[in-house]
Amino acid sequence: MELKSGDKFGLYQLASPNRQGSAEDVPTPVALTPGSSAALDAIRILAALAVLFDHARGMFFQHYPQVEPRLATVPVKALYFISDFAGDAVTVFFVLSGFFISSAILRDHVRGRWSWKEYAISRGARLYLVLIPALLLTVLWDGIGIRWFDGFGRYSGGVPDMGFRSFQSTYTLKAFFGTLVFLRNGFGSDGVIWSLYCEFWFYVAFPALVCLWLALRRKRYAKAAGYVAVVWVAGLILGPYRENFAVWLFGFGVAVAANYLRFPNRRRSAAWLFTVLAGLLFSAALVATRMGKPLPGGEYTEGLLFAVFMYGLVQLPLPAGPVWAGAAKEGAGFSYSLYLMHAPVLLLIDAMAGGSASRRWQPDTWHIAIFMGICAAVIVYSYVLAQLTEKHTTEVRAWLRAKVA
């Protein structure tokens, strides 16, 4: 199923305002400037760090109401505040993913290069190159923790901040292989896999919906029925996580709107003003939720606000100095590994330190220093692993293409 220049079914015109020339001349639906690309890279690594700090603080430190009054200083309050954004970070990840993946799918359709095989290779290499090592490392770290460091029930009882679930109960072969084929949403202590589970089925559902729409427009009803079945199975497997697909689709909305409803070049000042105001509104929403004032609509509103901010951001001629852009790209280059691999090693460190709800640290200077050292070590650990895995995604894709050609 593909689209070519002059196609009557509308997606070509929607995907790009360039109505002239051959399909090969049509650019990616959203052509990012180097500065905008660097900004999105920075957001990716900041979101991954937000998840790390949230989980680490929840494991090691007392909840804020249990902090000794003498320690409730402004820096400590700031620490608790900035380490409470894991859920918001996942919402940001979903919108970013919806933007990048839908853009790539539209681009391939517009250029007449869409192929389910190529798409499976591209997405499969990206997912599995980090997922397989993450699962194997979870086998190792959880195995050590369950065998020798579960005296305070960190594995058998679970961590309250991570859903109270018993990690030991999901440390099974069934859970391992179920997670490997995206039929389970977590293995052992690597609970963050739930969002990757969602992403996989979003990756299935969205291109199937695009192909379904095209098949219906072309009156190819047998193919349309097949795509309906694919979407139905994806929705069935996602279960309650189906609601997150709406957040993911906000990214698709950005991909279309930023191309079809662009700010004119002569109105760059308006684009800057719009983006700054949208960024301030999104930031205010984050602060409000941390202050105990939840947004109407919850994550949907939050995702929409971020998407509006992103709509402006991808159109701005942002500066892209070599240091800034290089640092952002390097950070984004290991954000997936950091996100997926941090929890098991953090939990093992916590268990080795005698972690339990009653033995959590008070946020004094000494323990904050230890906490920052642990987080830094986990960042380095994830970065090194990314050099062995995530960094080689392009080569692995090329190798897979050669094997299945």
Measured CA to CA, the distance from residue 244 to residue 91 in angstroms comes to 8
Measured CA to CA, the distance from residue 361 to residue 350 in angstroms comes to 11
Domain ranges of the chain: 11-404
Point out the least confidently predicted range of 92-106, 172-186, 320-334.
320-334
Local structure of residue 181 (DSSP, 8 states)? T
- 310 with 254: CB under 8 angstroms? yes
Please state the pTM of the whole predicted model: 0.90
The predicted structure's pLDDT at residue 13 = 36
- 282 with 299: CB under 8 angstroms? no
Local structure of residue 190 (DSSP, 8 states)? B
Q: Which amino acid does the sequence have at 270?
A: A
Q: Which amino acid does the sequence have at 42?
A: A
Please, is 150 exposed, middle or buried when counting C-beta atoms within 10 Å of its C-beta (0-12, 13-18, 19+)? Answer: middle
Measured CA to CA, the distance from residue 295 to residue 291 in angstroms comes to 11
The per-residue pLDDT for range 350-401, each reduced to its tens digit, is: 988 876 555 789 999 999 999 999 999 999 999 999 999 999 999 999 999 9
Q: Which residue, among 336, 309, 389, has the nearest Cα to 99 in the 3D structure?
A: 309
Q: Which residue, among 10, 9, 13, 8, has the nearest Cα to 26 in the 3D structure?
A: 13
* Helices of type H across 239-267: 243-260
- 1 with 208: CB under 8 angstroms? no
Helical (H) or strand (E) element with 231 = helix 221-238
- 56 with 371: CB under 8 angstroms? yes
The per-residue pLDDT for range 292-303, each reduced to its tens digit, is: 888 888 899 999
